[in-house]
Protein backbone atom coordinates (compact mmCIF):
# COMPACT_ATOMS: atom_id res chain seq x y z
CA UNK A 1 0.00 0.00 0.00
CA UNK A 2 1.18 3.54 -0.70
CA UNK A 3 2.20 6.03 2.02
CA UNK A 4 -0.88 7.87 3.18
CA UNK A 5 -3.19 5.06 2.07
CA UNK A 6 -4.16 4.23 5.66
CA UNK A 7 -5.54 6.53 8.34
CA UNK A 8 -4.99 5.78 12.03
CA UNK A 9 -7.49 6.62 14.73
CA UNK A 10 -6.21 6.42 18.30
CA UNK A 11 -8.76 5.90 21.08
CA UNK A 12 -7.35 8.27 23.68
CA UNK A 13 -9.64 6.91 26.41
CA UNK A 14 -8.24 3.43 25.88
CA UNK A 15 -4.57 4.47 25.39
CA UNK A 16 -2.46 3.96 28.52
CA UNK A 17 0.64 5.74 27.20
CA UNK A 18 3.04 2.81 26.92
CA UNK A 19 4.54 4.31 23.72
CA UNK A 20 4.91 0.86 22.14
CA UNK A 21 3.45 2.26 18.92
CA UNK A 22 6.06 5.03 18.66
CA UNK A 23 8.91 2.74 19.66
CA UNK A 24 8.01 -0.01 17.19
CA UNK A 25 7.04 2.34 14.35
CA UNK A 26 8.70 5.73 14.90
CA UNK A 27 8.03 6.78 11.30
CA UNK A 28 4.31 6.30 11.82
CA UNK A 29 3.60 7.31 15.44
CA UNK A 30 5.01 10.03 17.68
CA UNK A 31 4.42 10.80 21.35
CA UNK A 32 3.79 14.42 22.24
CA UNK A 33 4.95 16.15 25.41
CA UNK A 34 1.87 14.92 27.24
CA UNK A 35 2.71 11.29 26.33
CA UNK A 36 -0.21 11.16 23.95
CA UNK A 37 0.50 9.42 20.64
CA UNK A 38 -0.50 10.74 17.26
CA UNK A 39 0.00 9.36 13.78
CA UNK A 40 2.45 10.94 11.36
CA UNK A 41 0.64 12.36 8.29
CA UNK A 42 1.43 10.40 5.15
CA UNK A 43 2.99 7.54 7.10
CA UNK A 44 3.77 4.28 5.37
CA UNK A 45 0.95 1.78 5.64
CA UNK A 46 3.20 -1.08 6.73
CA UNK A 47 4.65 1.06 9.53
CA UNK A 48 1.18 2.06 10.70
CA UNK A 49 0.24 -1.61 10.88
CA UNK A 50 3.36 -2.48 12.89
CA UNK A 51 2.56 0.29 15.36
CA UNK A 52 -1.09 -0.66 15.65
CA UNK A 53 -0.21 -4.29 16.26
CA UNK A 54 2.22 -3.25 19.00
CA UNK A 55 -0.50 -1.59 21.06
CA UNK A 56 -1.23 -3.75 24.12
CA UNK A 57 -4.72 -2.37 24.63
CA UNK A 58 -5.99 -2.22 21.06
CA UNK A 59 -6.27 1.55 21.04
CA UNK A 60 -5.29 1.97 17.38
CA UNK A 61 -7.70 1.35 14.53
CA UNK A 62 -6.64 1.65 10.89
CA UNK A 63 -8.88 2.68 8.02
CA UNK A 64 -8.40 2.76 4.26
CA UNK A 65 -8.01 6.50 3.62
CA UNK A 66 -9.78 6.32 0.27
CA UNK A 67 -12.79 4.21 1.19
CA UNK A 68 -13.05 4.61 4.96
CA UNK A 69 -13.18 0.84 5.34
CA UNK A 70 -11.70 -0.46 8.59
CA UNK A 71 -8.65 -2.61 7.85
CA UNK A 72 -7.26 -3.23 11.36
CA UNK A 73 -8.17 -4.87 13.67
S1 LIG B 1 0.87 1.52 22.04
FE2 LIG B 1 -1.31 1.90 22.45
S3 LIG B 1 -1.40 2.30 24.65
FE4 LIG B 1 0.73 2.58 24.03
S5 LIG B 1 0.93 4.78 23.56
FE6 LIG B 1 0.46 3.71 21.62
S7 LIG B 1 -1.79 3.84 21.46
FE8 LIG B 1 -1.26 4.29 23.60
Would you give per-residue pLDDT tens digits along the chain (73 residues)?
Answer: 666 799 999 999 999 999 999 999 999 999 998 889 999 989 999 999 999 999 999 999 999 999 999 999 9
Ligand 1 probe mutation, 8, 15, 48, 54, most atoms within 8 A of CB: 15
Task: Write down the domain spans for the chain.
Answer: 6-67
Quote the Cα angle for 62-23-42, to 5°. 45
* pTM (two decimals): 0.93
Q: What span, in angstroms and rounded, lies between the C-alpha atoms of 1 and 36?
A: 26
- 46's enclosing H/E stretch is helix 45-54
Non-local (6+) Cβ contacts of 27 within 8 A are 40, 43, 44, 47
Q: Domain 6-67, what fold?
A: Alpha-Beta Plaits (3.30.70)
CA of 68 to the centre of ligand 1 (A): 22
Ligand 1 atom nearest the C-alpha of 55 is 1
CA of 44 to the centre of ligand 1 (A): 18
CA torsion sign for 73, 19, 31, 50 is: negative
Amino acid sequence: MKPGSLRAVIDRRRCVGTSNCAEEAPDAFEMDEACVPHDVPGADAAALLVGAQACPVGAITLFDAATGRQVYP
